[in-house]
Chain A
Amino acid sequence: MVKVTFIEHSGTQHTVEAKPGDSLMQTAQNHSIPGIDADCGGACACATCHVFVADEWIARLPPVSGNEDAMLDVVEERRRGSRLSCQLHADASLDGIVVSLPASQR
């Protein structure tokens, strides 16, 4: 199991177990964590699953693909650490990752 911590915009923290292979978006949905809309269901096509990855984790993630980069350009408040959570898949190397959520995905 892989531990993932989601921090809502309000500051509420949720530390949950992700199934290896699941995306962080799916993990959030499986645990009913509010704040990730994920309208497109993980097709990297809606930009409503935006998260901010904590600094120390940024470099440990797979690179941003062309599609993800284009979608991230659409979100409000893109910054260092901005990723689409449907494009990040849980595996042992991400055990302990911390991501926080923007004020709104809409």
Chain B
Amino acid sequence: MSAEPIEETMRAFDHTAPAQMNDPYAMYEAFRTRCPVGRSGQHGGFFVVSRYESVKKVFEDYSTFSSTQGVGIPPHPYQMFPIDLDPPLQTKFRRVLNRRFTPEAVATKRDEIQRVIDALIDDFIETGSADLAAQLVRPLLPRIVLPLLGVPSEARQQMSEWIEYMTRGRATDMPGVIKAGEDITMFLGGLVARRRSAPPVDDVLGAMLEAQIDGRPFSDDEILRTLLIILFGGLDTTSAVMLESLLHLARHPQDKERLKSGATPWSLAIEELVRYTSPIQGLRRTVTQDTRIEGQDLKAGDWVFGLHGSANRDEAVFERAAQCVLERQPNPHVAFGSGAHICLGRNLARLEIEILLKTVLERFGDYEVAADFAPEYLVGEARGMKSLPVRFVPAQRSAWLDAKRRFTAEDTSSRP
């Protein structure tokens, strides 16, 4: 890459191109040091911002860098709330949603998350090998998020397929994406209508049906667009961190030991694993008024892609930024975003990651990844490992474990 002038690399930058994004970090470093704001010629052209301070500015100054024209490149065909809104309207949605996702609120899901994880592990633990992406991490998350939202579990398989299609297909099959979007909105629309005339239920959908915005109830359309982003936001991202963490721990036995012994606090480790993974590599904003950033003039209407993945590796803020240092503190990473749109589900994600890693270490903590394993990534705004094959000493299903856990009554404090 260094042979090529940086402007050339920048012009070719495409976060949807697997060849660039399988390992983008050397490219980001070149951007940060030699072209902190540059212009990609892909997808109609957009500016790319790579330094920590500038990325933060883009995501915090919503009056200049707006979300209302969408946050994906290429644009998502379907507007979602609150992600495609600016404050103060966006804030009104967050006020209704935030209280369902506080550390205290998500902690009530701990037992349920544990049960789902144990059941998935039971399906392969006696065999001594598994693809942790296909057999554990990917099936896990919809089982937690769908009931939390209020989507019946019968719809799980179909929903997962639609979501997979909508998140992955934008660059390659737009008509197919639009069709999947229509199917999913039909389904969710029907669900919202049914729930309006049913007795109230304590889930996210229930909360939106009861809440008011500007002195009136939320419309079916607003509710549906909100359910959609909570669905999209919580799956690929969280699974990316889980898989990257599992790979890291397999390759760094001393980190694994320090977590198991309690020498490394889980709360710090999880923030670092989230920073190190940066599942959202970048998102778009649209310039609302002519402005300047790092000496580069931007005009109203320009697209700006802020790279969370690069900001989180900026040596100006993080020492040994390329390394995963589990005890890193402070850790002001922007993996959950920054400013108004800071991730709604961050406390849930932290809890899910913690329970998953603890349970794997407890039940088959001796797992190994082949020495020549080279991870491949699904890419786009979100980047996550495709598969993670592991081997371990076969162990028993969880019936005996329940009994053991009851006796040891471990600490259940999960607060990050």
In the complex, B91 has a CB within 8 A of chain A: yes
In the complex, A54 has a CB within 8 A of chain B: no
Query: Which residues from B are CB-within-8-Å of A34?
Result: none
Query: Which residues from B are CB-within-8-Å of A43?
Result: 60-62, 338-340
Query: Which residues from A are CB-within-8-Å of B91?
Result: 45-47, 71, 74
In the complex, A1 has a CB within 8 A of chain B: no
Query: Which residues from B are CB-within-8-Å of A74?
Result: 87-88, 91-92, 95
Q: Chain A 43-74, CB within 8 Å of chain B: the 1/0 string?
A: 10111100000000000000000010011011
Query: Which residues from A are CB-within-8-Å of B102?
Result: 106
A71 touches B88 (CB 8 A): yes
Q: Chain B 80-105, CB within 8 Å of chain A: the 1/0 string?
A: 00000001100110110011001000
Query: Which residues from A are CB-within-8-Å of B62?
Result: 43, 45
Place the interface of chain A in its size category: 10 to 19
In the complex, A96 has a CB within 8 A of chain B: no
B95 touches A40 (CB 8 A): no
The residues in B between 296 and 343 inclusive whose CB is less than 8 angstroms from any CB of A are 338-340, 342
| Closest B residue by C-beta to A39 | B342
Query: Which residues from B are CB-within-8-Å of A21?
Result: none
A40 touches B60 (CB 8 A): yes
From B62, B88, B99, residue with most partner A Cβ within 10 Å: B88
Query: Which residues from B are CB-within-8-Å of A46?
Result: 87, 91, 94, 340, 342
Query: Which residues from B are CB-within-8-Å of A39?
Result: 94, 98, 342
| Closest B residue by C-beta to A69 | B88
In the complex, B63 has a CB within 8 A of chain A: yes
Q: Chain B 46-62, CB within 8 Å of chain A: the 1/0 string?
A: 00000000000000111
| Closest B residue by C-beta to A76 | B95
A96 CA to B62 CA in the complex, in Å? 33
- What is the minimal beta-carbon distance from B330 to any residue of chain A, in angstroms? 12
A70 touches B338 (CB 8 A): no
Q: Chain B 357-398, CB within 8 Å of chain A: the 1/0 string?
A: 000000000000000000000000000000000000000000
Query: Which residues from A are CB-within-8-Å of B95?
Result: 47, 74, 76, 106
A73 CA to B219 CA in the complex, in Å? 21
| Closest A residue by C-beta to B344 | A39
- What is the minimal beta-carbon distance from B151 to any residue of chain A, in angstroms? 24
A106 touches B98 (CB 8 A): yes
Q: Chain B 32-74, CB within 8 Å of chain A: the 1/0 string?
A: 0000000000000000000000000000111100000000000
Query: Which residues from B are CB-within-8-Å of A76?
Result: 95
A45 touches B92 (CB 8 A): no
From A67, A71, A106, residue with most partner B Cβ within 10 Å: A106
- What is the minimal beta-carbon distance from A102 to any residue of chain B, in angstroms? 12
Query: Which residues from A are CB-within-8-Å of B342?
Result: 39-41, 46
| Closest B residue by C-beta to A70 | B88
A47 CA to B91 CA in the complex, in Å? 7
Query: Which residues from B are CB-within-8-Å of A41?
Result: 60, 338-339, 342
Query: Which residues from A are CB-within-8-Å of B63?
Result: 67
- What is the minimal beta-carbon distance from B152 to any residue of chain A, in angstroms? 28
A contacts, CB < 8 Å to B: 39-41, 43, 45-48, 67, 70-71, 73-74, 76, 106
Given contacts A40-B339, A40-B342, A71-B87, 16 further A-B contacts (CB under 8 A): A39-B98, A39-B342, A41-B60, A41-B342, A45-B62, A45-B91, A46-B87, A48-B98, A67-B87, A70-B88, A74-B87, A74-B91, A74-B92, A106-B95, A106-B98, A106-B102
The 10 closest A-B pairs by CB, nearest first: A45-B340, A43-B60, A106-B99, A70-B88, A43-B339, A74-B91, A45-B87, A106-B98, A74-B88, A40-B339
21 contacts between A and B (CB under 8 A): A40-B338, A41-B338, A41-B339, A43-B61, A43-B339, A43-B340, A45-B339, A46-B94, A47-B88, A47-B91, A47-B95, A67-B87, A70-B87, A70-B88, A71-B87, A71-B91, A74-B87, A74-B92, A74-B95, A106-B95, A106-B99
